[in-house]
Structure 1
């Protein structure tokens, strides 16, 4: 387990990875949609919407943790 002072940095990197994966998956979903599989595309884009909704809370939590460990 990383030291407490490193935890916000690790969480920030995980958050960045989450955003990058969401972007890649969204691109795949759009590609699928263009090829006519709208059911699959809708499911993918729905999952992306959940990631987007939670991203702001995750970011705020990381900022709060940064203030706590300083």
Structure 2
């Protein structure tokens, strides 16, 4: 039961949530662009950039955690 709540499992779930939010933000950005909401589009693209920048770090950290005996 404890392994279900390991640090690696927790981070993996955060990462999956991040991917889901990224997809939703992409849809909003596409819709906002069609509506001509340029300020909103800029903000949404900024959020997507941040998600993209952090995604690789999270994935690498998760791989390191899974490779250690800490989980």
Q: Deviations over 1:40-59 (max 9, x none)?
A: 11111111111011100100
Q: What TM-score, normalized to structure 2?
A: 0.84
Q: How far has the Cα of 1:39 moved from its partner?
A: 1.2
* Aligned: 1:32 with 2:29: no
Runs (4 or more) in structure 1 with deviation over 3 Å come to none
SS of residue in 1 equivalent to 2:59: helix
Partner Cα separation in structure 2 for residue 26 and residue 45 of structure 1: 8
Q: Tell me how many residue pairs correspond in the alignment.
A: 68
Q: Which residue matches 1:18?
A: 18
Q: How far has the Cα of 1:18 moved from its partner?
A: 0.7
Q: What TM-score, normalized to structure 1?
A: 0.85
Partner Cα separation in structure 2 for residue 10 and residue 40 of structure 1: 31
Q: Which residue matches 1:45?
A: 45
